[in-house]
Amino acid sequence: MDLYEILEIKPDATERQIKKAYRHKAKKHHPDVGGDIHKWHMISTAYQVLIDSRRRKLYDEQGITDKQSKNVEEEARSALHAYVVMACDSYQPGLNIIERIQQMLMESGQNIKREIRKMEKEHEKLEGIFTRLKYLDGQESFIHRTIRKKQQDCRRQIAEAKHAQEVSQKMRSMIEGYDFDVTPTGVSESFEGFCTKLMKQRKAGESFSWG
């Protein structure tokens, strides 16, 4: 559901243009004049998001239409749980579990950086195409709008990747206080309790609480 297309306005529409488009739609689609309730809900949602500068910015960058932002710490705990499980499952004598998790996090961070650079270059390329594209009547054409839509998709993907980057950084900070004893005498006391807790919760089918 593209909110700009619902109101039939451009992505750079002003507040005045948004209100005008909304009033025009209301005259045709409001339930009081026999309009479809579902379609009116879409129009109303589009207006409420785009008329609010903060929510509009969030929508343009991440495609989020509600008022809730993503919880970085919550996502970091959930993702780190998966990394710990993988490290424990692949454990072999002499392997430093903590270093293994840190290595996986570093590789993931590098992949995210590459994805961000790739999408930024794509956005820059599209901007170059857009500025060189001319339409004879001097107005933006269907092709212009298509390119702008693709740019919007790029910006959302960049925002999502940056969010993932923030989660990855949080995960690295959460594991900084841990150590692992790789000597033949066994597992360090702190990590032994940590792994015991994890395995008990896995057997019980419970979600792991990192902390």
Instruction: Compute the distance between CA of residue 35 and CA of residue 26 in angstroms, rounded to an integer.
Output: 9
- Same-domain pairing of 104 and 50: no
Residue after which a domain boundary falls, among 62, 88, 106: 62
The reply to whether 67 falls in a domain is no
Domain that holds residue 116: 72-203
The pLDDT assigned to 88 comes to: 82
**Predicted structure pTM score:** 0.56
- 209 domain residue, yes or no: no
CATH for 49: 1.10.287.110
Q: How many domains are contained in the chain?
A: 2
| Whether residues 191 and 101 fall in one domain | yes
Rg of the chain taking only CA atoms, in angstroms: 25
- Statement to judge: residues 36 and 88 lie in one domain: no
Considering the domain boundaries, does residue 208 fall inside one?
Answer: no
User: Per-residue pLDDT for the chain (211 aa), expressed as one digit of tens each?
Assistant: 689 989 999 989 999 999 999 889 888 887 667 777 667 778 888 888 898 888 888 888 777 765 445 567 877 887 888 778 778 877 888 888 888 888 888 888 888 898 899 999 999 999 999 888 887 776 667 888 889 888 888 887 887 788 788 888 888 898 888 888 877 554 444 555 666 666 666 666 665 555 5
